[in-house]
Amino acid sequence: MTQVPNLDLFMGRKEELRSLLAALHGRESRLVWGPSDAGKSALIRKLFAELTESERRGCICWKGPATRRQLLSHIIGQLFAAGNPFVRKRVDFDGARAPSLDKWLQNQTGLGLRGILFTALKQGCYQIFVDHFPPITTGMARLMKEIMYRCETPIYLGARDHCREAIGYAWSLYWNDSLRIHVGPLNDREALCLLERCIRAYGLESLDLGNFRDEILRLSDHLPGAIVKMCELAANSRYHYGDRIKTKLVHVDYLMQSSSLHTSPTSRMQ
């Protein structure tokens, strides 16, 4: 793949970003939902860029599926890294240090982890971001509810829809539109502007673009992730026929890559 230069490909989303910032500063949980490649993760990265360094230190992120214990351990590990005084004290009391933190976490009971987490969250200003999570089970929804209301710690959940089938029992936590931020397709002007940025970023200007612009806008449904990924593919010479781009092949391979990503295990958000 061609490496994109350091260029901001974030486009639009002013209203969504404003709503997410307002929710974070008001310490209110939100469901951030929209189709694949709508830019939910990009919106959250843009949010982080708008925060102060101290605010970013309070953001705890997880991406992909997890058991209840995995999520508890990960959040506590991040609290340790952020210098949470209660977690640090508990780890030090047991004679553990940063290199042995994973082993210390493994030695804790599930109930013990839960107690540590609830006490620690009350001693600071934290926000939890969870993305690409499978439909929430009853037990996970109960944990999320306790974090949100008992610990007064907001959870921002990323999902492809807001229906019960998509987010499971978390539906009861984000039950009306005021608790949801929809990330949909870009408007015509924003989609075209993003496409032009991508054409420059991936060096496509030297090629015969013909109806490339119209086709990419149509095939992408104006979803920013689709526009960026198809332009990235189009920069590869295997998709060129002379100086023309085989746009249909680009689209097919984009769909195949997207399908592969959605069916393979995802990793933690770093």
Task: State how far the Cα of 240 lies from the Cα of 128, in Å rounded to an integer.
Answer: 44
Phi and psi at residue 62, in whole multiples of 5°?
Answer: -140, 140
Beta strands in 119-214 (DSSP E): 127-131, 155-159, 180-182
For the chain, what are the domain ranges? 14-182, 188-263
**CATH (residue range 14-182):** 3.40.50
pTM, two decimals, is 0.89
Quote the pLDDT of residue 26.
Answer: 97
Whether the per-residue pLDDT at 270 is higher than 70: the answer is: no
Quote the pLDDT of residue 133.
Answer: 86
Q: Stretch 100-118: mean pLDDT, rounded?
A: 96
Span 39-87, pLDDT tens digits: 999 999 999 999 999 999 999 999 999 999 999 999 999 999 999 999 9
Q: Stretch 244-269: mean pLDDT, rounded?
A: 77
Q: Which helix (H) or strand (E) holds 103?
A: helix 101-107
Span 134-177, pLDDT tens digits: 999 999 999 999 999 999 999 999 999 999 999 999 999 999 99
Provide the mean pLDDT of the chain: 92
